[in-house]
Amino acid sequence: MNFAQIPGQKEIKGKLLRSVKEERVSHAQLFTGPEGCGNMALALAYARYISCENRTDFDSCGTCKSCVKYEKLIHPDLHFVFPVIKGKKATDPVSDNYLEEWREFVKISPYFTLNNWMDSIEVGNAQGMIFASEASEIIKKLSLKTFESDFKIMIIWLPEKMHQATANKLLKMIEEPPEKTLFLLVSEEPDKVIPTILSRCQLVKVPSFNNRDIEKYLIDRFNISIDKAADISCVSNGNITRAIELCENEDSSLANLERFKSLMRFAWKRDIISIINWSEEISTTGREAQKNFISFSMRILRENLMLSLDQLKNSLVFLTGEEATFSGNFHPFINQNNIYPLTEEFNLVYSHIESNGNAKIIFLDLALKVTRLIRRS
C-alpha cells in the first residue's frame, strides 16, 4: 500500500510526507477519524514511505527491496499488533499466532472493520482483544536492532482493545522508546484508549472520504457503472469501508435489514411468541455479527428519523434501494419522542454484548422494550 493507491485525502497525505522530508517524524502517532476514513491504509503507506530506500517527494518508489517486502507485509522491521482470540490457536494468544492470516487479510484490502477481521478467522462468539501475553512480545521485538531499515515500525490496530497489562507496558515504551522505534497506533474509538497513552501520542486526525473519491475508487476496483458507484458513494457518506461492503456483501446488509424489519413488525403487533423466537435466532449468531446488527439498526433508526423530519430534500438521508423502500413505510413510527430511548436501548445492548452478556436475554429484553417504544408518538 502506497499513498497513490489511497483515493483522495490530499491534505493528510501532504502532512505525512512533509513530516518525513523535514525529519519531524514523531515516535508515537495515533491515526484516528470517522469509521471508514482509511486510517489503516494511511498508516501502512506512511510506514512504507519512511522505510523506502528511494522515496520521491510524493510517494515510496515501489521497486526497492523495502517496498517489495512491504507490499507482501513481510519486512523484518515492520511489526503488527491486533486483536486476536483465545482458544483457537493458543490459550495465551499473541498477534504472531495469526500473522499469516492477518497478512493475507490486509493484502486483500486495507479498508476493514473488526467484524470483518473476526469473520475472516471464524471466531464464532469470541471477541477480539489484545491480551496481556502480547506485552512480552512487544518488548522482545522492539528490543532488537533494526535489520534493514533505519526504523523499527510497530503498527498497533485498535489499541482500545488492549488488556490493561499490555497498555501499561506500551505506555512505558512510549515514554522511553527504544532507539529507532516508531509506534503507529490506528484507532476507531480513541476515547477508549487509556488517557496516558493518548496524551503521549501525536494525533493524526483523518477526515472522511470525499464522495467523488469513493465513487472513482469503486469504479476502478469493482468495474461497476457510474450511476451505481454514485448511489453507493452517496449512501456510504464518506465511509469507504461501508461502500466496499455494499458492493461485496449485499447479502449481509439484506440479512440485517430482514432482522430489523422482523423485530419492528413483531414489536408493533406485540407478538410475544415471535419476539421470543426472534431473540433466540439472533442469539445463535456470533457476537461480532450481533454487534454489527446493532450498529446497522442504529443507522436505520437515524435515517428514518431524518425522513420523519423531512430531510430527504436536504440530502441528509443515506439509504440503499431496499432500505429506502422499507423506510418509506416505516419512518412515521420513528419520531422525536421515541428516537432517544430507542437509541439508548440499542446502545445498551451493544455494550452488554461487548461485555459477553447472555445474548438471548439481552435481545429478548431489547425486543420487549421496542414493543413499548415503537408505539410512542
What's the pLDDT score for residue 145? 86
Where among 205, 233, 265 does a domain terminate? 205
Average pLDDT over residues 147-173: 90
Give the pLDDT band (50/70/90) at residue 124.
low
Assess whether 16 and 121 both reside in one domain: yes
Domain that residue 46 falls in: 3-205
* Co-location of 43 and 188 in the same domain: yes
Task: Clarify whether residues 41 and 155 are in a common domain.
Answer: yes
For residue 285, give the nearest of 98, 95, 122, 63 by alpha carbon. 122
What distance in Å separates the CA atoms of residue 278 and residue 363, rounded to the nearest whole number? 8
136 and 235 in one domain? Answer: no
pLDDT digits (tens, 9 = 90+) for 329-370: 999 999 999 999 999 999 999 999 988 899 999 999 999 999
Examine the domain organization and report whether 262 and 309 are in the same domain: yes
Number of H helices, E strands in the chain: 17, 5
Residue range 7-52, pLDDT digits in tens? 999 999 999 999 999 989 999 999 999 889 999 999 999 999 999 9
* Structural domains counted in the chain: 3
Q: Cα(first)–Cα(last) distance of the chain, in Å? A: 51
Query: Where is the domain boundary, 222, 248, 274?
Result: 248
Residue 289 CB partners (closer than 8 Å, separation 6+): 115, 119
Q: Worst-scoring range by mean pLDDT, 34-43, 99-108, 315-324? A: 315-324
pTM of the model: 0.77
Which regions of the chain does DSSP assign to beta strands (E)?
28-32, 78-81, 152-157, 181-187, 202-205
Residue written as grid cell 520521491? 56
Domain identity same for 77 and 218: no
Output the nine-digit C-alpha cell for 244.
466496499
Q: How far apart are CA 312 and CA 146, in angstroms?
A: 55
- On whether both 219 and 337 belong to a single domain, the answer is no
Query: Looking at the structure, do residues 242 and 264 belong to the same domain, yes or no?
Result: no
Give me the phi and psi of 155, to 5 degrees please: -100, 120
More confident residue, 159 or 287: 159
* 132 and 8 in a common domain: yes
Cα torsion angle, 64, 78, 209, 215, sign: positive
Query: In terms of domains, do 169 and 295 share one?
Result: no
| DSSP 3-state of 75 | coil
User: Residue 158 sits in a domain of what CATH number?
Assistant: 3.40.50.300
Same domain, 320 and 286: yes
Residue type for position 284: T
Q: Are 156 and 21 within one domain? A: yes
Q: How many CB atoms lie within 10 A of CB 227?
A: 8
Q: How large a percentage of the chain has pLDDT more than 90?
A: 61
Which tens digit of pLDDT belongs to each residue from 82-92?
Answer: 999 887 666 78
